[in-house]
Amino acid sequence: MTYATAADYSWTHSPSSPFGHARGAGYSLVLVRGIGPEEVLRRAGAEPEGVRTGFDALVEEHVGLLDEYDGWPECTLAGAVAVPGEGGEWTLVLELGGDALGMSPRFMEAVSSGTRAVSHTGNSGKPIHLFHWYEDGALRTGFEYPAHCDGDTPDALNALITVVGLVPADDEAPGADRTAAFFALAEHLTGVRVTEELLAGAAYRTGLIPEEAYDEAGPGL
């Protein structure tokens, strides 16, 4: 059996990667099993914006949003697409220009009700990197650094954390590529392999998520 590791996602730090804009602007990536893109966006409180084909189109819309609001939008842009994974179809949601979607207990509880939802967020400016795994409306494991996990089963991912390239007892992870490691950890829990090609060519159903949707947002740690 082949296990995903941070090395499999080293492309997320490549200058030519379509993910470069998301990494620089701040992002939240959420994977939800068995709920379609339209419904996931609805539960996020998003205002529908139509379909954008290709990651470049998603980035273009995000840049336009920044220009419209002079760099401080009152909402964030999210694109959702159906992807294959463990146990059937999943929805991948990528939020640009913010890191709150996957950190919002209200949203993650809603989309994981009766199923599984996994998220990781990153913001190069702060910087911040968070991982959350929800099962049937409850946080199973959430952490910024592996040494400080929270949730109903805080130690449940320790073995996988080691496999992907992090150290469970590490509270600083010097030199660790946490973005890539979180992609790999999400793959272990969802069966979804996110690739450059997937992000570059997907037809994203988009929506604008207003600030008020994050009233109860927080790291859940």
In terms of residue numbers, what domain contains 187?
A: 6-210
Tell me what pLDDT residue 66 has: 79
CB contact burial 92-128 (16+ within 10 A = b; e otherwise): bbbbbbbbbbbbbbbbbbbbbeebbbbbbbbbeeeee
Tell me what pLDDT residue 172 has: 60
Q: Please report the beta strands in 34-184, taking only residues with DSSP state E, as ranges in sequence order.
A: 47-53, 75-85, 88-96, 116-123, 128-135, 138-143
218, part of any domain: no
φ, ψ (nearest 5 deg) of residue 83: -140, 150
Reported pTM: 0.92
- The total number of structural domains in the chain stands at 1
Taking 90 as the threshold, does the pLDDT of residue 26 lie above it?
no
d(CA 77, CA 86): 27
Taking 70 as the threshold, does the pLDDT of residue 72 lie above it?
no
123 vs 50, more confident: 50
50, part of any domain: yes
Q: What percentage of the chain carries pLDDT values higher than 70? A: 87
220, part of any domain: no
219, part of any domain: no
54, part of any domain: yes
215, part of any domain: no
